[in-house]
Structure 1
Amino acid sequence: MSASRLFLQERGFLFAIFLPPSWDGLLEKMTHKHSTIDENYGFWRQTRDPKEVGQILAEKYAELAWDKNTQRFSGGEFLDYEKGQDYYLKTEIAEYSQEKTPESVNDLSEEDVDDDISLEQAMREIEALRDIQPHAVITTNYDEFLERIFNDESFHKGESSEDEGEGERYEVVVGEEILKTQFRSLGEILKIHGSATDPESLILTSDDYANFNNRKRYLSSKMLTYFAEHPLLIVGYSASDPNVRKILSWVNNAPPNDRNIEEDIYFLKYEDDLESQEDFSTEKRIQLEDGSFMTVKRILARDFDWVFEAFASSEGFEADVRYLRKLVANMYEVVRKESPRAQVVDHQQLEDIATNEDELATVLGISSVGDSPGVQLNHPLSSNDLTDQLGIGGVPSLKSKVIRPIYDDEDINITAFNNRYHVAFFEENSSESRRYSEEAIDLFEKVMDGEDYDLRIPDSHIPDEDISSRGYEIE
C-alpha cells in the first residue's frame, strides 16, 4: 500500500467515533422538532425512502415558515419568496448539525461518543486517523468534524495554533464547488452532499438527488482523478448503501492502467461481536448501480485505531500538506497562464526538470550539499557571512547573544532544524554546514538590541522529537 490514502465517509458516522443521528434519525428528529408538524415519521417511511420523506418535510417546513402564527422563521432572510421551499428545513438541519458538532476534537465528550466505545478509545482512533494524512477525504456528511480532525492544530499540538495566516491544512470543497474547482489531488475534504456552513448546498430531498444525479457524470470524472492513483478506504457505510454503490460505479468506470483498482479498495466494517463471527472472509462482493458486482477487500474490526495505524505505517507526507497543495496550485498557474510580457519559456530547462530528479530537487531547494543554488536563493549567508554582517565575533558570540536568548524566550533552538531563518545539512546528529537567510539578520539584530520580535515559525514546522543535539550547544 502506498503512503497516501483516500477516504470515504458517510453521513451520520465518523468511523464509529462521532455519531449524530442516522439519516432516518435526523429526519425523524426534524419531524418532531415543531409541534405544528404533527405527523408520524414511521407512517411516511412505510411507503417512502428518506429522500422522499425529506421532500415532504421540506414542504411542511415551508408552510411553517410562512405561517403568521409562528416566530421560528420570522427574520427577513427567511421571508423571501425567491428562496426554495427546502431552505427552511435545510437551515434547521444545518443549525442542528452545528450545535451538535464539538468546537474542536479536544471538546469531544462521552456524550458525543457511541456507547460501544470509550472516549479514550475514540481519541486514539481520531489521532490514528489524522496521522494517515490522506490525499483526500470524500464525505456525504454535513457536519464539520472532519475539518476539526485534519485542520485543528490545538488537537495535534496540545496548544492553540498561531498559524492562521498559513491557511487550512486540508482545503474544504463543498457541493457544486467541486465541479468548478481545479483539483490539485492533494489535501482536500470533498463534501459532495453539502455542508452545514451553507444550508442551501445540502443534498436532502428528492429534487436535490435528481439534480445531483444529473451532474454525477461530471462529478465522477473529477473523482476518477483520485481513484486511478490512490487506494480507497470506505468506512461507516453499509455495503448496500446507494452512496457506496454510486462511488464504486465511478471507480468501475475508471480507464484501465497499470494497477488493478479493485485490489486497492478496502471496506472497513465495525463489528462489536467478533467472537461470534463465522465468516472472516477478506473479500466483500458489492452490487453496483448497473447491476454488476465488484469484489473489494474487507476488514472487520471492533477497534479502528489499529487499522488506521496500519494504513499510516508507510512513509507519509514529508512536508505540510497545505504547502504541497500551494506548490501544485502555483505550478499549475505558472504553466497555464499567458504572460502579459510575452516571456519565453525555456523548454530545455523545463524538460530537464521534468526528467531529472536532481534538477527538480535543485529547483525545490532540496540538496545534500551546502552550495545548492536552491538553498543559496533562500539562505545565502554562511555562518561567517552572518556574524560579519551582525558585527559580532564569530559563532561563540552568535550562540551567546542570539541563539541562547531566543531559546530562553521561546524554548526553541532554531539551529536544531531547518526553518525560514536557518538551514543545515545533517548527517545523523552532526551538521556539515549551516546557512542563514536575510530575514535572520533582521530577527537577530532585534534580539541583540533587546527589542520585541516575532519568531515566525509555525508550530506545525517545529519537530515533535527532541533534536536539540543537532543545533549549537547553548547550555
Structure 2
Amino acid sequence: MYNDYLKDSMTRLKSVIDDSGTRPILFVGTGLSMRYLNAPNWIGLLDMLINRNPKCTYPIAYYTQNCEDNPHIASLLIEEYNKYAWDNYRNGAFPEKLYEPNNHNSMFFKYEICRIFERIMENFNLDDHPLSEEIELLKELKPHAIITTNYDKMLEKIFPEHSVTVGQQVIKSKESLRIGQILKIHGCMDRPEEIVISKEDYEVFHKKQKYLTAKLLTYFMEHPIIFLGYSLSDSNIKKILLDIAEMVCESPEEIVDNIWFVEWSRDPIPTEYKPPSDKYIALDDGKSIRTNYVLLHTFEELFKNLDQGDVSSVNALQNLEDKVYNIVKSKSISDLKVDYLTMSHIEDEEALARVMGFQRTDDPEQGETRSVSVIGVGVMSDPEQIKLRFPFRLSDIAKQLELTHYNYVSQLIDKVKRQTGVNIKGTSNRYHFDVSVVETQPQHRYSADAVELLKKVLNGEVYSVYDESNNLVSPEYIEEQPQQLGMEI
C-alpha cells in the first residue's frame, strides 16, 4: 500500500510542476538540518544555550513550565546572557566589540548561537556523509529559490552557486526574486544581528511579514512550493500559510495544488500503511488550508521527482536572466532590430533556447514516436502537430483567462467534472493531451477548445462538453453568477 501511495504522490507532484511551467521553490526548515547536520531542534538549541551559561541555574524544564512559548524562553535567556556577559566583561567572556554601546543587549546570546552552529558546520562533510547519495540528489536540483528559517549554512554548502540574501534584505533587495537565491528570512549564523529568535524579534518580524509575503507573492502564485523539514504545528509556517490562504483559497475544502507539505518519519514506514495524500492545517482566526501531503522516511524519491533534468548551471541561468532584463530595460530598445519572422515561431522555452544559441544534450528526434487515438480528433503521431494543437499548460490557460493562479483552472476543470461527469483531464481528447513518454511523469497540455470551454464555465455561460464517446453532454445546472476566481487579488 505504501509503495502505491508513494508512486501516486510522486506522479501528482510531477504533474503539478509541469502544469505550473515553472521551477519549484524549496521552503526548508529545521528538520532537514537535523537529518543532515545532526543539528538541534528549537527547544534543543535553547537547552544547549542554558548549559553554556553558568548564570542559568535551572534546566530547560523550568523555562518550558513558566514560559508560554520558545520565543519567550529566548527572551529570558537574553537577559541571563546579558547579565553573565557584563559580570565577566573584564575576563573576556565575549569579544570586546560586543560590549560597544551601540550593540543590542541580545548580541551576547545570539553570538553564542552562532558559535554553536559554527561547531556543527565544522563536522559537515559532503564527501563522507552517511547520507551522501541522498544529499547528492538534492544538490542536483535547480529550484527557482530556496527559502529557509534555519541559521546554519548547510544550504550554502549544498548549493554553492546560489546567492544568499539574509534577514531584512529579503524585503529590501531587488535581487531576492531572481533565480538561484537562498533567502534566509530568520537570519544566519554569520549575521547574528539578523537572527530572529526572541519574543521581541518575532514581534518585529510579524509586523513586516505582510511586506515579506507581498514580496514573495509571485512565488506563492506561480511556483510549486515544497515545505521540507517543518512540523504541521509550526507557528511560523502557519502564519505564512495564513497569508497564502487569503490569496489563493476560495474555500477551505479546496486543495491548494501548488503547496506540498513533506513530513519526515524518523522510523521506517510499514509497507501496509497508506498515509493521507492531503491534510487540513488549522491556522489562526479559525481558518484552515488544505495542502498536498506526503510522508517519507527517506528523500531519494522526492528529490528524483523534483529534478527537472537541467543541464545549465545556476550561474548560466542567472546570466541569461540578466541579459534578457538588460535588453528589455535598455534605453536603446527602440533601435533594436528583431527578426519578427523567427520570433513569431517561438512557442515555448525550448524554441527560445534554440534562438538564443542553447543546445539540447539529447536529440528529441531520436526518441520513439507513438500514435495516439485522440477522442474527437483522430490518430495523432506527429509531435509538432500535437504541440500545435495542444500548446497550453494550466498556467498558460490561467493567463488567457486573466486568473491570478493556475489552481483556479484546476477548479474549473473539477467543476466541469462535477456538473457533467466528464473529466477532460482523464483521457486524450479534443481538450487535453498528455505529451509525456513516461507514465509516471505526466505532462498535461490543453487546446484552444479547452480554453474556450473553461472561459464559458468561468463566466457562468451555457456550455456543453464532449464525453469519452464523443457525445455532447450538458451540465445538470448552470450557476447564475459567474465565478470570481482570484479576482479579488
* Aligned twin of 1:274: 269
- 3-state SS of the aligned residue for 2:247? coil
> Structure 1 residues 108 and 99 mapped into 2: Cα distance closer, same or farther (>3 Å)?
farther
* Aligned twin of 1:345: 334
Question: 1:277 Cα deviation (Å)?
Answer: 7.7
- 3-state SS of the aligned residue for 2:35? coil
> Structure 1 residues 202 and 352 mapped into 2: Cα distance closer, same or farther (>3 Å)?
farther
Residue 20 in structure 1 maps to residue 12 in structure 2: no
For 1:426 and 1:264, locate their aligned partners in 2 and report how far apart those are by CA, in whole Å.
29
The 5-angstrom pairing of residues 175-254 of structure 1 reads 175-182=167-174, 183-254=176-247
Equivalent in 80, 90, 107 of residue 100 of structure 2: 80
* Aligned twin of 2:304: 309
For 1:236 and 1:91, locate their aligned partners in 2 and report how far apart those are by CA, in whole Å.
25
Matched letter for residue 295 of structure 1: R
Residue 125 in structure 1 maps to residue 118 in structure 2: no
Question: 1:357 Cα deviation (Å)?
Answer: 2.2
Equivalent residues of 2:353, 2:359 under 8 A apart: yes
Alignment root-mean-square deviation, CA: 3.2
For 1:206 and 1:309, locate their aligned partners in 2 and report how far apart those are by CA, in whole Å.
39
Question: 1:13 Cα deviation (Å)?
Answer: 3.3
For 1:190 and 1:22, locate their aligned partners in 2 and report how far apart those are by CA, in whole Å.
20
Runs of at least 4 residues off by over 6 Å? 350-354, 425-428
- 3-state SS of the aligned residue for 1:262? strand
Equivalent residues of 1:12, 1:22 under 8 A apart: yes
* Aligned twin of 1:287: 282
Equivalent residues of 1:105, 1:148 under 8 A apart: no
* Aligned twin of 1:94: 114
* Aligned twin of 1:173: 165
For 1:242 and 1:68, locate their aligned partners in 2 and report how far apart those are by CA, in whole Å.
36
Equivalent residues of 1:94, 1:196 under 8 A apart: yes
Equivalent residues of 2:71, 2:202 under 8 A apart: yes
> For residues 333-372 of structure 1, what are the alpha-carbon distances to aligned partners after superposition, in whole Å with 9 as ceiling and x for unaligned?
45346x5xxx46247739888765289557623479xxxx
> For residues 284-333 of structure 1, what are the alpha-carbon distances to aligned partners after superposition, in whole Å with 9 as ceiling and x for unaligned?
11112332111112212222112221222xx3333111221232234334
Equivalent residues of 1:353, 1:360 under 8 A apart: no
Matched letter for residue 201 of structure 1: E
For 1:147 and 1:50, locate their aligned partners in 2 and report how far apart those are by CA, in whole Å.
27
For 1:360 and 1:298, locate their aligned partners in 2 and report how far apart those are by CA, in whole Å.
35
* Aligned twin of 1:263: 257
TM-score w.r.t. the length of structure 1 is: 0.64
* Aligned twin of 2:72: 52
Residue 40 in structure 1 maps to residue 59 in structure 2: yes
Equivalent residues of 2:262, 2:295 under 8 A apart: yes
For 1:426 and 1:295, locate their aligned partners in 2 and report how far apart those are by CA, in whole Å.
39
Equivalent residues of 2:227, 2:262 under 8 A apart: yes
> For residues 88-131 of structure 1, what are the alpha-carbon distances to aligned partners after superposition, in whole Å with 9 as ceiling and x for unaligned?
1111101211111147643665xxxxxxxxx1xx2122112122
The 5-angstrom pairing of residues 302-451 of structure 1 reads 302-312=297-307, 315-336=308-329, 339=331, 343=332, 345-346=334-335, 349=338, 356-357=345-346, 360-361=352-353, 364-366=356-358
For 1:33 and 1:15, locate their aligned partners in 2 and report how far apart those are by CA, in whole Å.
20
For 2:298 and 2:222, locate their aligned partners in 1 and report how far apart those are by CA, in whole Å.
28
TM-score w.r.t. the length of structure 2 is: 0.62
Rg: which structure is higher? 1
Question: 1:250 Cα deviation (Å)?
Answer: 2.9
Equivalent residues of 2:27, 2:146 under 8 A apart: yes
Equivalent residues of 2:37, 2:120 under 8 A apart: no
> For residues 245-268 of structure 1, what are the alpha-carbon distances to aligned partners after superposition, in whole Å with 9 as ceiling and x for unaligned?
1232232233589xx881122221
Matched letter for residue 88 of structure 1: F
Question: 1:58 Cα deviation (Å)?
Answer: 1.0
* Aligned twin of 1:62: 82
Equivalent residues of 2:43, 2:70 under 8 A apart: yes
For 1:11 and 1:199, locate their aligned partners in 2 and report how far apart those are by CA, in whole Å.
18
The unaligned stretches of length 5 or more in structure 2 are: 1-13, 367-489
Identical counterparts, % of pairs: 28
For 1:366 and 1:129, locate their aligned partners in 2 and report how far apart those are by CA, in whole Å.
25
For 2:232 and 2:249, locate their aligned partners in 1 and report how far apart those are by CA, in whole Å.
24
Matched letter for residue 24 of structure 1: I
